[in-house]
A = this chain, B = another copy of it.
């Protein structure tokens, strides 16, 4: 399809970037790839790339994530959060990137490079390596949005398997907020919300076994 647009209108490259998060060993990690192409060859960057013809923005984000990191994500774990379009942000020309926030469920650890990628790996989200383009800014804003969502969506459940213990859930909150929480107040608050139901089982390990919970039927959760 050809556009009939005013002559002064900008034709721009349209891209998506994905700030994908997971919790590993009680610490919030961000998913980064090492670029295999110019510019910024061999620099770490957020997964992302150009939107294809006839492709929706969120589809492009999911595809890039799949191609570059072998992660298959459900659409409900993805949310657009800001668009970066400053003129000098990409040396190839005017490229506008619609940045997305992704929440990766527990167990998503296996990542691998792809055609446009040397490697993919997890890095501590609060202390990432130097990043290509303006991706450090994008990552910072993504973390802020993640913390906001924690408050009034029950985002943390997305990071956990179907059943989980309260200390595990608290660990997720602490990892995202990057600060310690009081155990009793946390339990009180979460249980009062009525979004958790005890599964009846318990999980053994070191110390006293913990009660297992699952999300209650009909509980709102996740991104918007």
Chain A residues with a Cβ under 8 A of chain B: 1-6, 8-14, 49-57, 80, 82-83, 85-87, 92-96, 98
Q: State the Cβ distance, A111 to closest chain B Cβ, in Å.
A: 22
CA distance A55 to B96 in the complex (A): 12
Q: Which residues of B contact A92 (CB under 8 A)?
A: 3-5
A8-B56 CB under 8 A given contacts A14-B85, A85-B14: no
* Inter-subunit contact A53/B13 (CB<8 Å): no
Residues on the B chain within 8 Å of A6, using CB: 49-50
Please name 21 pairs of A and B residues whose Cβ atoms are closer than 8 Å in the assembled complex, sorted by A.
Answer: A2-B93, A3-B13, A3-B93, A3-B95, A9-B52, A10-B50, A10-B52, A11-B12, A11-B13, A11-B14, A12-B14, A14-B85, A14-B94, A51-B85, A54-B87, A56-B86, A56-B87, A57-B83, A57-B96, A80-B83, A96-B96
Q: Output the least CB separation between A146 and chain B (Å).
A: 17
Query: Which residues of chain B are within 8 angstroms of A80 by Cβ–Cβ distance?
Result: 82-83
How far is it, in angstroms, between the C-alpha of A53 and the C-alpha of B11 when the chains are bound? 8
CA distance A9 to B57 in the complex (A): 12
B50 to A14, Cβ gap below 8 A? no
Give chain B residues whose Cβ lies under 8 Å from the Cβ of A2: 93
B53 touches A94 (CB 8 A): yes
Q: CB within 8 A of A8: which of B11, B50, B85? A: B50
Give CA–CA (A51, B94) in the complex, Å. Answer: 11
How far apart are the CA atoms of A98 and B2 in the complex, in Å?
Answer: 21
Residues of chain B within 8 A (CB-CB) of A3 are 13, 92-95
